[in-house]
Chain A
Amino acid sequence: MKWRELTISLTLFFVLTPLSECLIAQNVQPQDVHSSKDSIYFMPDDEEGVYTSEVTMKAYDKRVHHYRKRWESMIPTQFVVQNAGNMGFLSFGVGWSYGKRNQWETHQLIGFIPKYKSTRAKVTITIKENYIPWSIYMGKGMQIEPLRTGLYLNSVFGTEFWNEQPSRYPNDYYEFLSTKFRLNLFVGQGVTKIVPKNHLYLVKSVSFFYELGTCDLYIRAKVQDHSVKFWDLMGLSLGFRFQLL
């Protein structure tokens, strides 16, 4: 049983939620917010004040523009905190959202595994790809994501773990096995609270999500013996996503 982690996570949730509420006002009109190409788009206050003029772009200007645009796409748009999910007790990192409706996300996370009953604590790194097909605006700045799914590759540091079996073993002794790298799959849901523009301070929106996931080794166990209980192999993960850009 892992009720200690559950208690800590729920406490974190109940502490962090009111904190994020401080950043968020209650009376946002739906027309203030659009889910267009940008993750969140705010209509300008005074549209009459916007005027356009002809701009002549030289080849050099175009090149600089493209150069900046390319490098700007490398700026992380999200900050993510997540617990469990076979990547450590707590993981945090940055993420990039992209696609027509920002339905794709790539997260790069670093997590730690406490010592527990082993000889030492460990560090893990994760590269995670999320797919969020639908974001439904509910009014009052609330948005729900009825499905989030994806996969991630986790690597754990330590001499106990190897990527390929060390040379001491005969060929294919532990077939198709790496103790260092784990491929995980997950499905989950999320809710997003959008910060109204008159309260914009740190982040554009705060999301809470949960994910149910399993890793390749557990799927292998289930394939080898069907009597393994489904819930013994599934793990729950809770997280927060802060949209920065």
Chain B
Amino acid sequence: MENCKKNDIFAQFFAYYYKMMRHFKQFFFINIALIAGFLLSACQSVFDVHPYDMNLHGEHNINANQIARIRQLYDTRDTLRIAFISDTHQWYTQTKAEIADINGRSNIDFVVHCGDVTDTGTTNEFRMFRNILRELKVPYVVLLGNHDFLGTGDQTYEWMFGPKNFSFIVSRIKFLCLDTNAMEYDRVAPVPDFDYMEQQVTADSADFDRTIIIMHAAPYSDEFNNNVSRVFNYYTLQFPGLMCCIYGHDHVEITHRIYEDGPMYHSIDCAQHRNYKIFTITPDGYEVERIDY
């Protein structure tokens, strides 16, 4: 019995623990208090109420604030250089490298994220993504991806970034950002919102001559409401000086015409594949550059 106990590391440890506690019981509670204090200071978010709790504080309505910054900085520019990133999900190492790469280039004006900032739409993921994005030196806007809908994700997006459909005008170019994730609504909601698109064709028409349309899921993808794919093409063609459409979702880097009579569609790759695109927009047109980092 004695021999057996000696070999048992656990029994030995707890015999020692027990002995120590009997001797220093007055210190035990001080110990507990110290450990608790350490834990409280170590946990940035101390109590996790629920993964989808939306217990959020701090920066919100980011898109509107960043658009104001973009307009203030670049509204009179002839040439714009915009970095398009997409589908960062939970590849945080790659996303941080992507952000560092963008920060290392002095000539990028602003960044557009084409959606899927989370993998499962939890509040914590949105919080962590916001912290990573804060490292960007230049302004940025973020679109809504299908993964960001999970649980309370779409509500978190609306609180943190703003409306699902939005547009802004910089140096006479309208950037129209659309929510095309129809499958997330079981295709019963007006997605893509043609009323919004129709209104945007004429809204502030004196202030822009050209248009770029950005979305998360492209027409004919699994998320898109493909019953209205051709209608969508018709509506995009109503925009004055439509240059191209830019989308994410597919995790591929490709440039193609989805419709024979439609605009050029540029797909932005995911963070896992470690590449993104820089668009240089001049008064004559635009150039696309693929960046591997």
Q: Which residues of A contact B222 (CB under 8 A)?
A: 170, 173
Binding site for A on B (CB under 8 A): 14, 17-18, 21-22, 25, 28-29, 32, 36, 39-40, 42-57, 60, 90-93, 96, 119-122, 124-125, 128, 150-152, 155-156, 159, 183, 186-187, 222
Complex CA distance for A42 and B159, rounded to whole angstroms: 57
Tell me if B's interface is mostly helix, strand, loop or mixed.
Answer: loop
Check A83 against B47 for contact (C-beta < 8 Å): yes
Complex interface: chain B residues within 8 A of A232 (CB): 44-45, 124, 128
A113 adjacent to B50 (CB under 8 Å): yes
A84 within 8 A of partner (CB): yes
Chain A count of residues within 8 A CB distance of the other chain: 64
**Residues from chain B with Cβ under 8 Å of A227 in the complex:** 92-93, 96
A-B contact pairs, 30 of them (CB 8 A): A1-B46, A2-B49, A2-B55, A84-B46, A86-B48, A86-B49, A87-B50, A88-B50, A117-B156, A118-B53, A136-B18, A138-B21, A138-B28, A142-B25, A161-B52, A168-B187, A179-B121, A191-B29, A212-B39, A215-B51, A218-B51, A225-B90, A225-B93, A228-B90, A228-B92, A229-B44, A231-B42, A231-B43, A232-B124, A233-B124
Q: Are B52 and A156 in contact, CB atoms less than 8 angstroms apart?
A: yes
CA A196 – CA B164 in complex, angstroms?
A: 61
Stretch at the interface among A65-73, A96-104, A234-242: A234-242
| Complex CA distance for A86 and B49, rounded to whole angstroms | 5
Most buried by B among A2, A85, A213, A229: A2
Task: Report whether B150 and A5 are in contact in the complex, using a CB–CB cutoff of 8 Å.
Answer: no
Chain A proximity of B51: nearest CB distance (Å): 6
Closest Cβ of chain A to B130, distance in Å, is 12
Contact (Cβ within 8 A) B151 A86: no
A18 contacts partner chain B, Cβ-Cβ < 8 Å: no
Residues in B with CB closer than 8 Å to A170 are 222
